[in-house]
A and B are shown apart, each in its own frame.
Chain A
Amino acid sequence: MWIYEKKLQYPVKIKNPNPKLAQIIISQLGGPDGELAASMRYLHQRYAMPYKQVVGILTDVGTEELAHLEMIAAILHQLTRNLSEEEIKNSPFATYFVDHTTGLYPVAASGVPFDMKYVGIKGDVIADLHEDLAAEQKARVTYDNILRLCDDPDVRDPIKFLREREIVHYQRFADALRITQDNLDSKNFYAYNPAFDPKSQKT
Chain B
Amino acid sequence: MMNQYYGVSSFSGRGGRYDYDRATYRRPMNRGVMPGNMPGCMSNRTFGTTQGNGACSGGNSNTPRLSGCGCGMNRARQQDHNDHRDHNDYNAHNDHRDHHDHRDRNDHRDHDCDGRDRVIPAVNRTNGCGCGCGNGADAAACKRLMDQIRAVDFALYETVLYLDVYPNSCDALETYYKLKAQSEALHAEYEATCAPLTAFGNKSDTSWDWMGKPFPWEYDAD
Binding site for B on A (CB under 8 A): 3-15, 52-53, 56-57, 60-61, 64, 70, 73-74, 77-78, 81, 126, 130, 133, 164, 167-179, 181-184, 186, 189-190
For residue A173, which residue of chain B has the nearest CB?
A: B32
CA distance A13 to B10 in the complex (A): 27
Contact B217 A70 (CB under 8 A): yes
User: Would you give the shortest CB distance from A36 to chain B, in whole angstroms?
Assistant: 15
Residues in chain B within 8 A of chain A (CB atoms)? 7-8, 10-11, 17, 28, 30-32, 35-36, 38, 40, 42-48, 146-147, 149-150, 153-154, 157-158, 160-162, 164-167, 195-200, 210-211, 215-219, 221-222
Determine how close the nearest CB of chain A comes to the CB of B19; give it in whole angstroms: 11
Residues of A within 8 A of B48 (CB): 52
Contact A167 B160 (CB under 8 A): no
Distance A53 CA – B153 CA, assembled complex (angstroms): 21
The B interface, classified by DSSP as helix, strand, loop or mixed, is: loop
Chain A facing B: main interface SS = helix
**Could you tell me the distance in whole angstroms from the C-beta of B171 to the nearest C-beta in chain A?**
16
Those 5 A-B pairs whose CB atoms lie nearest each other, nearest first: A189-B35, A74-B217, A56-B164, A174-B31, A186-B43
Q: Are B166 and A178 in contact (CB under 8 A)?
A: no
Q: Which residue of B lies closest to A81 (CB)?
A: B219
- A7, A10, A15, A130: which has the most chain B beta carbons within 10 Å? A7
Cβ–Cβ contact B217 & A6, under 8 A: no
A and B contact pairs by CB, cutoff 8 A, 5 listed? A3-B198, A81-B219, A171-B28, A171-B31, A184-B35
A158 to chain B, nearest CB (A): 11
